[in-house]
């Protein structure tokens, strides 16, 4: 809802979602979805490489999404990825 208001005023937005069904209902303009536990949108504490990967995936989605409401799932598995 907040994302929609910011986009509506003229600022392009990208949101991180960890609850896909909720995002599908609220319909923000652009979303990167992570099937991760609540409270960890960037990942685990002090895992800088993981946070960086999420940010770069979010920026990639910001520039790649051309259809309003699209959700990109980069397929990052919780605690089963190697981050560099």
**Interface positions with other proteins (CB under 8 A):** 1-19, 21-22, 25-29, 37-46, 48, 51-52, 55, 58-59, 62-63, 68-69
Least distance to other proteins, CB of residue 73, Å: 15
Least distance to other proteins, CB of residue 72, Å: 14
Q: Which H helix or E strand runs over 7? A: helix 2-8
Q: Of 1 and 82, which CB lies nearer to other proteins in the complex structure?
A: 1
Q: Of 6 and 72, which CB lies nearer to other proteins in the complex structure?
A: 6
Least distance to other proteins, CB of residue 49, Å: 10
CB 33: neighbour CB atoms within 10 A?
20
What whole-number distance in Å separates Cα of residue 70 and Cα of residue 44?
26
Q: Of 41 and 75, which CB lies nearer to other proteins in the complex structure?
A: 41
What whole-number distance in Å separates Cα of residue 17 and Cα of residue 53?
15
């Amino acid at each position: 809802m907040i994302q929609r208001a910011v986009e509506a005023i003229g600022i392009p937005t990208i949101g991180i979602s960890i609850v896909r069904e909720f995002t599908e209902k609220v319909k923000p303009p652009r979303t990167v979805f992570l099937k991760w536990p609540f409270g960890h949108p960037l990942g685990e504490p002090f895992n800088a490489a993981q946070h960086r990967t999420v940010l770069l995936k979010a920026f990639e989605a910001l520039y790649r999404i051309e259809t309003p409401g699209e959700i990109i799932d980069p397929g990052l598995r919780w605690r089963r990825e190697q981050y560099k």
